[in-house]
Amino acid sequence: MSRTRALTLLILSILGIFAAYQYNRSTMATTPKLIPTSAIAKNGAIVVGSGLAGLSAASELIAANIPVRLLERNAKPGGNSIKASSGINGAPTLFQPGPPDTEFYADTIKSAGYAMSTAREHREKLIGTLTNSSASAVTWLNTTHGIDLSKVAQLGGHSRARTHRGAGGTPPGFAIVSTLLKSLKASPLFELKTSCTVNRLLRSGSSVTGVEYTCISPEAESTTSELHGPVIVTTGGFAGDAAGLLATHRPDLANFPSTNDPAPGFTHLLTSVGAQLLDMSSVQVHPTGFVDPANPSSPLKFLAAEVLRGEGGILLHDGERFFNELETREKVTAAILKNPPIEEKPKQWDVLLVLDEGVYEAAKSHIDFYIFKGLIRKTTIGDLGEKALPTIQEYAGAVAGKYEDKFGRTAFANWKLLEPEADSVVYVGRVTPVVHFTMGGVVISEKAEVLDAQGVPVEGVWAAGEVTGGVHGGNRLGGSSLLECVVFGRNAGERVVEYVKKEEK
């Protein structure tokens, strides 16, 4: 090598070291056009969205001493995850009553339904990962993070009780999100930026190298900046995107109320770097959102948690039961929609959720909250019209084992009212179907890699949680969304740890 060439190389490498030093010093550095992947990985990782998927991924990274910058578009963290009210699935766990539960995989395949006729092998891998990792997900939350998940209920479409929540009054979503956040915030390697929306992913060649994002200050000033590093996208679903993705993929659901706050979906972040979409028209309409008597036409509804039916509650239309309340959400909703709506804007049906004292005791903290909100009232069966008493007497006979339930329900949990009379106490609320969850999203591998049209992982980006598609097929089982967030969120975190360590070598 000539002396001039050697000198030029020396100067270039000194400049390179200086540039890398400047780049590492400020995580807000402006993007060079082409950044070596090694430099990107050393800054740590970027997580987009602070729901349970994002927090699970971030927890794995922090546990491996990898710095995390977490960007959240809302002023407060937690996404829909913080609202979760029934719990997280796990099987087999110590908390489940009875013999070891081996049916979770089969129940999930059955619930996924017609979707299993396409991409079956791919879906089986995802469902296998979800269900086989479910016990360790519950252990991770319970043992590693100290979150009480000792109470277990059977939700619709499950053949066993496997949805875990705490025995105290704290709802499971809040308990899980607040505990993980607290633990993350205790680390100097963790930085949370709220009111910051990621607009696009940055690329260098075909690899994702970071994000461009815009933050809104309390004074409503906006600043757009860039961050560089491997990216985990956990932006949630599009059930609140009525005028956007929902209108595109399910125009028939226009005017349905929703449990999700209005907000745009963000799958385009990933499709713009080659991700594929799956199951976008599979939208879950949950059968029971409360119609608030104080604001009956609000398009945003409080969810009447499925655990209320799981603990023994029933549904009445015109004073009569009409279906097995513990069938999958898809089927219970379809049974309600067979009748015409009684209101058009929003579209609402007339269904009563009825609970007895036994259910009240089993789900006291939920029900007290709904009573406080004016969504459930304590009354007597005589107040529910003529047909309610014989209907509830017939149900009580099935609970007592006098005959089989005429709708095929086999689990009655804590329903205790075996001799109903007109003056027996019940708890009732009006409910209607609500857009709740989107099964569709970007295609991922079981390692949470984002796959392109050839099924090849896009370098530098991973995804987990409701933004992904394929894990639930045509219908998600209650309790399996928090589970998918933990399982695939942790998988994404672990893969990024490997990626960063490999790049560091």
Report, as residue numbers or ranges, the catalytic residues.
286, 309
Pair 147, 154: CB distance under 8 Å: no
CA 42, CA 20: separation in Å to the nearest integer?
10
Give the nearer residue to ligand SIN in terms of CB position, either 197 or 481.
481
480 binding ligand FAD? (CB under 6 A): yes
Pick one of ligand SIN, ligand FAD, none as the site partner of residue 488 (Cβ within 5 to 8 A by kind): none
333 binding ligand FAD? (CB under 6 A): no
CA 39, CA 487: separation in Å to the nearest integer?
29
Choose among 209, 282, 150: nearest CA to 29. 209
Give the nearer residue to ligand FAD in terms of CB position, either 32 or 169.
169
279 binding ligand FAD? (CB under 6 A): no
53 binding ligand FAD? (CB under 6 A): yes
375 binding ligand FAD? (CB under 6 A): no
Pair 152, 164: CB distance under 8 Å: yes
Q: 363-380 burial, b if ≥16 CB within 10 A, otherwise e?
A: beebbebbeeeebbeeeb
- Shortest distance, CB of residue 175 to ligand SIN, whole angstroms? 14
Pick one of ligand FAD, ligand SIN, none as the site partner of residue 445 (Cβ within 5 to 8 A by kind): none
Pick one of ligand FAD, ligand SIN, none as the site partner of residue 81 (Cβ within 5 to 8 A by kind): ligand FAD
Return the bridge partners of 486, or none.
Answer: none
Give the nearer residue to ligand FAD in terms of CB position, either 299 or 385.
299
86 binding ligand FAD? (CB under 6 A): yes
From start to end of 419-487, where are the E strands?
A: 425-438, 441-443, 449-451, 457-463, 468-469
Give the nearer residue to ligand FAD in terms of CB position, either 399 or 450.
450
48 binding ligand FAD? (CB under 6 A): yes
Distances (CA, A) of 283 to 47, 81, 252, 386, 466: 25, 17, 11, 36, 11
CA 182, CA 179: separation in Å to the nearest integer?
5
Distances (CA, A) of 55 to 200, 257, 433, 465, 478: 21, 28, 30, 11, 21
**Chain residues 87-106 in contact with ligand FAD, contact rule CB under 6 A:** 87-88
Chain residues in the site for ligand SIN (CB under 6 A): 85-86, 303, 305-307, 437, 478-479, 481
- Shortest distance, CB of residue 176 to ligand FAD, whole angstroms? 9
Which residues would be at the binding site for ligand FAD (CB under 6 A)? 48-54, 71-74, 79-81, 83-88, 172-173, 197-198, 234-236, 259-260, 266, 303, 437, 465-466, 479-482, 485
